[in-house]
Chain A
């Protein structure tokens, strides 16, 4: 390849471009900003269901969807962590039903309705246990299993207050950047997890 004057000129442009890009990368690379913790009061609003020690300074929030397989997969790990650290940790459940999960909203309402009769966490267990067979008839069946008052159950399940609360959880989640489930916040800071071990380790380190 024989270079003409023009060729060399173009090469010069390439060199200048690369130099400019290099300089831009150098001067504009900022070290990653430390993660800001979200206010506890925002992550745990009134009426939110919690497990463990309410006066513990350490708290783990999970944005979850009862029809989400990943949430189901994480549950045993979460349960184990919560049980193991029940004196030093507060576990918080926030609803984040995903659009593509047909029964997620109903499941969430079912949990809330059970919660109104003091059995949120029992229903939480039942829902994840029965995730594979969610249908429109699942909810009363589960309520019966927990020996809930059926009338009150149905009322609370269908009242706007309940769906409002669930939607409020979801809106807040969207606002802070939750876009998949499960998403965990430990002491107000979002966790990036690649394995169940990561969650265990993060909680251990925080306690």
Chain B
């Protein structure tokens, strides 16, 4: 259960970051940043998929993970199934942040601090869900 708790907390962290970055996208307000990377990434069209800002996807992904991690702690649930679901979502999440980091580095050529934090966060969650699966 230790791992699940960590995944839950990291998912909340991911949700918080996603909300902060997303509101900055939507309201066009300044964002706390280590360099000008955040502004450059935000203004670039590569940060939108079908018109939806990338942090929105992060918000959805992290929310699912947080909810599942929570549900896993309730009684009468099939923990195996939930764990598998979480692994699936985390896998997709890890692929997503990898793709976006690639986009930042080679297309936009600027790195947004928060995206980097989210990348590390999501990959950590991914590793933890794998560990969960291995531990059985």
Contacts and interface: CB of A to CB of B under 8 A. Distances in A.
A4 B74 contact: yes
Contact of A17 (B16, B43, B73): B16
A7 interface: yes
A14 interface: yes
B69 to A, nearest CB: 7
A14 B74 CA distance: 16
B12 A6 contact: no
Contacts of B1: 6
A13 B1 CA distance: 15
Interface in A1-56: 1-4, 6-7, 9-11, 13-14, 17, 21
A2 B74 contact: yes
Interface residues of A, number: 14
B74 A7 contact: yes
Main secondary structure of the interface of B (DSSP, over half): helix
Contacts of B75: 2-4
A10 B16 contact: no
B16 A1 contact: no
B109 interface: no
Contact of A3 (B9, B12, B69, B74): B74
A35 to B, nearest CB: 14
Interface in B18-32: none
Interface string B67-88: 0011101111000000000000
Contacts of A2: 74-76
Main secondary structure of the interface of A (DSSP, over half): helix
B22 to A, nearest CB: 14
B131 interface: no
A183 to B, nearest CB: 15
A10 B71 contact: no
B62 interface: no
A14 B12 contact: yes
Contact of A21 (B8, B16, B70): B16
Interface string A71-84: 00000000000000
B8 A4 contact: no
B9 A13 contact: yes
Contacts of B9: 13
A13 B8 contact: yes
Interface in B46-70: 69-70
B73 A6 contact: yes
B74 A1 contact: yes
Contacts of B76: 2
Contacts of B73: 3-4, 6-7, 10
Contacts of A9: 5
Shortest Cβ-Cβ A-B pairs, 10 listed: A2-B75, A6-B73, A7-B73, A1-B74, A7-B74, A17-B12, A10-B70, A10-B8, A4-B73, A2-B74
11 contacts: A1-B74, A3-B73, A3-B74, A4-B74, A6-B1, A6-B73, A7-B70, A7-B74, A10-B5, A10-B70, A13-B9
